[in-house]
Structure 1
Amino acid sequence: MTVFRDFNFKLLVVEKLMYWDETLSPAFSLREHMRARGVEDLDAYVAEHKLEYTVLDEARTYFEQLEIPNELLATVDELTFDGGHQVFMECAPVWDGEDALFDLTRLDDLELLPNLKLFTGGRALEHMIPGALEILEARGITARH
């Protein structure tokens, strides 16, 4: 089993494979997941439990346990950091993008993506991890701002 060291980095990979490429399936829907557990109004549930600025446990557990085969990891040639990602909405459905909830903390997981050539969101990445652009460059990965 492939182990990611940074949960948020894994979410970027999931975004690419599950929601963009649709090669990692089925696509996770927190609303459907919670509806199956008797929660009809997810927004009300989030507000009632004061979970607006957190990753819901149900989503965290799902994505932490999600196995991504090495064959799929090898298909990832680009990643994008963008606050509007579908995977972020599946984790924190009323998140407003105004905090560091999904910031990356490390780039150790780059080694899991042998064919990564492009990282879009370089300015944001450099803000999250000082020196990140140099790390990407050393690995032959182009950073696009």
Structure 2
Amino acid sequence: MSNPIEKKEKPGNQILIECGKGQIKINGLKVSFPIHLNTLQDLFGEPSKQEYDLLWQVVWDELGIYVDYGSWDNILNMNFLLSSNHELRHFPTRFFSGQITIDKKNVTHDDFAEFDLKKHKVRKLTYKGYTEPYSISIGKNFDYKEEIPKDKYLIKDLTEEQIEFSDFGFKLSIIQELMYNKELLKPKFDLYEFVEWYDKREIDIDKEGHRPIPEVTQYFKDLPIPKKYTSDITEIYQDGGNDIYLQLLRYGEGWEDYWDIENTEDAKQFPNLKKAVLCYAKENVIDEFNKMGIECEWL
């Protein structure tokens, strides 16, 4: 899968990382790990460089921040450079000049090994042969296991009117907007959590993630969407890196046609839908949307 780097406005060098047992905030925005590269770009602006050496390394030189990852939608930690006490490559040219707080106390330059924050850990990293740490790492705590409610991914009947869809591809575009962009539709589906929760058979993402996993596809086909949300949709934007497609096909390449919108009939239910940018759609759909007064174009 490609690693898109879009130009974002730089946030300036004053970065405040606030850590606590309940959450992590970056300049006031709540985040959690794993985190998406797009989220980091929104927070830190366009990276200075991105290189590949066994893992992808993305660096924000002016901020002293860097990450490495295997999958750009599943970044497990981020790092803040404090000193040059290392012999490693792919590091920022400047040190981190912001603040990292634990329960409102600035610990950026304190002497500590790690803080256990339940879901997350804050650690100081020391290179072999050196005693002074070179970086602070904030990320997922692999020792923490959150119990998944037994009914979390059970499909429940709605007690209110729901939207009836005739086109699965269009429904997925709506789910992207309501579940991941606007966070109105819950629970927010997470593939790895769903696989852990699912007990009817063992699902192996590494082996099955190159094609749609039937149980995951069926979940979204069965998922009811309240009709009250129709007025909340003003646009749809398809991209191979959308959360919804990464849940449906973990190792997709962007050329797939499993979720092509085939007709525009469902759009009539969304009175405020005025714009659509598409990459998964049949050729006729663009013209049909435009004739309906919905400004539509290919990605």
- TM-score, length basis structure 2: 0.42
Aligned to 1:100: 257
Which whole-Å CA distance do the structure 1 matches of 2:285 and 2:168 have between them? 17
2:177 equivalent in structure 1: 16
Map 1:52-67 → 2, pairs under 5 A: 52-53=210-211, 55-67=212-224
Computing the radius of gyration from Cα coordinates, the structure with the larger value is: 2
Mapped to 2, the partners of 1:58 and 1:16 lie a distance apart of: 22
Structure 2 residue aligned with 1:109 = 266
Q: Is the 8 A contact 2:276 2:295 kept in 1?
A: yes
| SS of alignment partner, residue 74 of structure 1 | helix
Equivalent residue pairs, number: 135
Hey, what's the Cα distance between the residues in 2 that align with 1:60 and 1:43?
17
Aligned counterparts of 1:131 and 1:65: Cα–Cα separation in 2: 27
Deviation at 1:2, TM superposition (A): 2.1
What is the CA–CA distance in structure 2 between the aligned matches of 1:33 and 1:4, rounded to whole Å? 24
Alpha-carbon offset, residue 76 of structure 1? 0.2
Counterparts in 2 of 1:49-88, with a 5 A limit? Answer: 52-53=210-211, 55-88=212-245
RMSD between aligned alpha carbons?
A: 2.0
Which residue of structure 2 lines up, in the alignment, with residue 141 of structure 1? Answer: 294
What amino acid maps onto 1:11 in structure 2?
A: L
Contact 2:262 2:285 in 1 (8 A): no
Q: Is this contact kept in 1: 2:261–2:285, CA < 8 A?
A: no
Distance 1:133 1:87 in 2: 21
Q: Which runs of no fewer than 5 residues in structure 2 stay unpaired? A: 1-161
Cα deviation, 1:88-122, whole Å, max 9, x if unaligned, reads: 1111111221222222222111112121011123x
Measure how far apart 1:9 and its partner are.
1.0
Q: Matched residues, percent identical?
A: 27
Please state which structure has a larger fraction of its residues in helix: 1
Letter in 1 for 2:164: V
- The gaps in structure 1 that reach 5 residues or longer are none
Partners of 2:204 and 2:218 in 1: how far apart?
20
Higher share of residues assigned strand: 2
